[in-house]
């Protein structure tokens, strides 16, 4: 067998494997919120907030059970830092972020630009930028704006869309992706 034939066969096999992996790692929310098919027995999230200087690297789910202290830590990390206001952050969005991150096969933590926003913060941001929704999922603790230095907006958005479990906004000019656990949809900001 020629070397080119071996490489082609390997590429084809890897392509099939990659497609299968993406489908099996996508979260499924049909009547089972928080169920992440094919994600394994442990779920982890790693993030950094450049505005507060805080980092988060925690296992929040093991063998079918969410870990309450880890979810509390995540809620605090995702807080509205401008108002220092904390709410219970939606675990479905944590699952989406973790699944998208896993699909990108990077150890670099997400850079969190915005997690939960209080109504006051959302109104302030809306007054400065017409792209901020008045009924934003950020206000409900169901959205995050994230970036990675090692991945493009298109790559991050593709990973988020592969999850098939929420909204994905692509903001090329500002170099970030919005991911939420609302209805499945996509847009370009």
Q: Does residue 149 surpass a pLDDT of 70?
A: yes
Domain extent for 50 = 3-188
Closest C-alpha to 184, from 74, 75, 92: 92
Query: What rounded mean pLDDT belongs to the chain?
Result: 83
Q: Tell me the per-residue pLDDT of 30-67, one tens digit each, with 9 for 90 and over.
A: 333 344 544 558 999 999 999 999 999 999 999 889 99
Lowest model confidence (mean pLDDT) among 65-69, 96-100, 127-131: 127-131
The model's pTM? 0.78
Per-residue model confidence (pLDDT) at position 19: 37
Q: Which residues contact 28 (CB under 8 A, 6 or more apart)?
A: 35, 36, 37, 164, 165
Residue 130 has pLDDT above 90, yes or no: no
Averaged pLDDT, 156-161: 96
Which bin fits 39, alpha (ψ -120 to 50), beta or left (φ > 0)? alpha
Q: Based on the structure, what is the number of domains in the chain? A: 1
Region class of 19: left (phi > 0), else alpha (psi between -120 and 50), else beta: alpha
CA max distance for the chain: 67
CATH number where 57 lies: 3.30.1380.10
């Amino acid at each position: 067998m020629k070397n080119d034939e071996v490489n082609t066969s390997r590429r084809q096999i890897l392509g099939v494997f990659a497609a299968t992996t993406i489908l099996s790692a996508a979260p499924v929310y049909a009547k089972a919120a928080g169920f992440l098919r094919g994600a394994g027995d442990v779920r982890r999230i790693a993030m950094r907030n450049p505005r507060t200087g805080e980092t988060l690297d925690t296992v929040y789910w093991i063998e079918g059970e969410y870990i309450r202290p880890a979810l509390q830590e995540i809620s605090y990390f995702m807080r509205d830092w401008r108002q220092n206001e904390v709410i219970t952050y939606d675990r479905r969005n944590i699952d989406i972020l973790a699944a998208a991150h896993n699909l990108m096969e990077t150890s670099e933590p997400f850079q969190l630009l915005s997690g939960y926003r209080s109504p006051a913060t959302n109104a302030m941001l809306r007054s400065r930028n017409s792209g901020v929704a008045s009924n934003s999922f950020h206000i409900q603790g169901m959205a995050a704006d994230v970036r990675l230095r090692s991945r493009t907006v298109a790559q991050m958005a593709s990973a988020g869309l592969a999850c098939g479990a929420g909204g994905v906004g692509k903001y090329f000019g500002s170099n970030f992706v919005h991911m939420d656990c609302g209805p499945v949809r996509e847009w370009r900001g």
